[in-house]
């Protein structure tokens, strides 16, 4: 996806380090403007109205939240009996 070449990545741990949170902001690049660029309201090549965006405008965001499984490792006695 062309828009991913211009993104901002933010991450962090929330809930006392139990959850990983990642946000990727996506911005319009020239390839996107055929469908989403100027003039606002004009129909694009697929028949849908354009939104009037410009290169560098915020196109959207992808958010990922993952629970971190903090497991404790119990030492074992590996000495054979």
β-pairing, 58-67 vs 19-27, is antiparallel
pTM for the model: 0.60
Indicate the burial class of 3 (C-beta count within 10 angstroms; 0-12, 13-18, 19 or more). Answer: middle
User: Per-residue pLDDT for the chain (81 aa), expressed as one digit of tens each?
Assistant: 444 444 555 667 666 767 888 888 899 999 999 999 999 999 999 999 999 999 999 999 998 888 877 554 555 665 555
Q: Which residue has the tokens 């741990």?
A: 13
What is the structure's pLDDT at 5? 46
């Amino acid at each position: 996806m062309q828009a991913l070449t211009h993104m901002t990545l933010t991450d962090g741990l929330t809930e006392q380090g139990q959850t990983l949170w990642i946000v990727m902001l996506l911005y319009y690049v020239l390839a996107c403007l055929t469908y989403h660029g100027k003039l606002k309201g004009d129909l694009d090549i697929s028949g849908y109205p354009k939104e009037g965006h410009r290169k560098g405008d915020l196109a959207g965001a992808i958010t990922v939240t993952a629970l971190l499984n903090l497991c404790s490792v119990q030492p074992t006695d590996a000495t054979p009996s």
